[in-house]
């Protein structure tokens, strides 16, 4: 479950705020995703259904939340950018911290992850809502209805920084920036054995151990659960 230059696939916090405005809801049915904005600025949230060509976007004020009610087998991802900025589909040229989901996947479990495979821009956390652990997890108890979190973003190397009017607005991954077999795991390096973690992804993993950092990082980044829904919090407390 990862986003990369070569393919998109989905398998795979709470801070102190003033009294929050009322939540906004989007109609639908099945499993809910609650987006919480605990940043000190308003956000524009992107939502992309798996297979769709363009995202749905909505503003969420600081301290506010927005609830999406989604189909029980929905697949897709969410991300955020500071409101007022253009919010294109998150990817190689426009890195953003991703919350990725597949509902009712293998074994009737939900799979989810925080992905920095194409880069990152905002601290993020995913929490199950009333999670049921009966489905088990092959990769250990930590990943069974756990809460993947990166509450403090890694320092971005200069060569990966995305700048806007002199300010850093995101950090690309090595794959996004260099597009080589070594960093993107394609061509002659398209297996876990031939494409290990690289120096850039290792630095991100050291800072945020739960995060998906490169193409073959799924054993230490894919979480699973059976839940009523999930809360995605931007700018969670540590």
pLDDT in tens, 185-211: 999 999 999 999 999 999 999 999 999
Q: Is residue 106 classed as helix, strand or coil in its secondary structure?
A: helix
How far is it, in rounded angstroms, from Cα 152 to Cα 180?
Answer: 28
Q: Which long-range contacts (CB under 8 A, 24 or more apart) does 41-44 make?
A: 41/82, 41/83, 42/82, 42/83, 42/84, 43/80, 43/81, 43/82, 43/83, 43/122, 43/234, 44/80, 44/81, 44/82, 44/83, 44/84, 44/85, 44/87
Find the mean pLDDT for residues 171-196.
Answer: 97
Q: pLDDT confidence of 161, banded at 50, 70, 90?
A: very high
**What pLDDT is attached to residue 51?**
92
- Contact indicator for 129, 230 with CB cutoff of 8 Å: yes
**What pLDDT is attached to residue 136?**
77
For the chain, percent of residues with pLDDT exceeding 90: 76
Whether residue 9 is predicted with pLDDT greater than 50 in this model: the reply is no
Q: Biggest alpha carbon distance in the chain?
A: 54
Whether residue 22 is predicted with pLDDT greater than 70 in this model: the reply is no
Q: Report the CATH number that the domain containing residue 155 is assigned in CATH.
A: 2.60.110.10
Whether residue 23 is predicted with pLDDT greater than 90 in this model: the reply is no
HEC per residue, 164-218: ECCEEEEEECHHHHHCCHHHHCCHHHCCCCCCCCCHHHHHHHHHCCCCECCCCCH
How far is it, in rounded angstroms, from Cα 79 to Cα 58?
Answer: 11
Within the chain, how many helices (H) and strands (E) appear? 3, 17
The burial of 132, by beta-carbon neighbours within 10 Å (0-12 exposed, 13-18 middle, 19 or more buried), is given as middle
**pTM for this structure?**
0.88
Q: Which of 122, 217, 212 is nearest to 162 (CA)?
A: 122
* Owning domain of residue 140: 2-234
Q: Which of 161, 173, 172 is nearest to 198 (CA)?
A: 173
pLDDT digits over 91-130, tens only?
888 999 999 999 999 989 999 999 999 999 999 999 999 9
- Contact indicator for 174, 198 with CB cutoff of 8 Å: yes
Q: pLDDT confidence of 29, banded at 50, 70, 90?
A: low
Whether residue 32 is predicted with pLDDT greater than 50 in this model: the reply is yes
> How is residue 177 written in tokens?
């920036």
Find the mean pLDDT for residues 148-167.
Answer: 96
How far is it, in rounded angstroms, from Cα 94 to Cα 158?
Answer: 16
Total number of domains constituting the chain: 1
């Amino acid at each position: 479950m990862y986003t990369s230059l070569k393919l998109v696939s989905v398998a795979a916090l709470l801070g102190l705020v003033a009294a929050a405005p009322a939540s906004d809801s989007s109609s639908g049915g099945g499993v809910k995703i609650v987006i919480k904005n605990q940043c000190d600025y308003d956000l524009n949230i992107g939502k992309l259904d798996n297979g769709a060509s363009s995202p749905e976007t909505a503003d969420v004020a600081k301290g506010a939340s927005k609830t999406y009610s989604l189909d029980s087998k929905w697949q897709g991802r969410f991300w955020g950018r500071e409101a007022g900025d253009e919010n294109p589909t998150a990817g190689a040229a426009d890195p953003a911290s991703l919350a990725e989901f597949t509902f009712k996947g293998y074994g009737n479990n939900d799979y989810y992850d925080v992905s920095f495979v194409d880069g990152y821009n905002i601290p993020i956390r995913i929490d199950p809502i009333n999670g049921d652990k009966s489905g088990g997890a092959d990769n250990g108890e930590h990943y069974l209805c756990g809460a993947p979190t990166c509450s403090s973003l890694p320092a971005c190397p200069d060569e990966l920084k995305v700048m806007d009017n002199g300010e850093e607005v995101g950090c690309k991954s090595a794959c996004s920036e260099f597009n080589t077999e070594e960093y993107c795991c394609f061509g002659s390096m398209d297996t876990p054995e031939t494409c290990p973690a690289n120096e850039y992804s290792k630095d991100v993993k050291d800072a945020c151990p739960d995060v998906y950092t490169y193409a073959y990082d799924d054993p230490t980044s894919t979480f699973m659960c059976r839940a009523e829904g999930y809360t995605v919090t931007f700018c969670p407390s540590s």
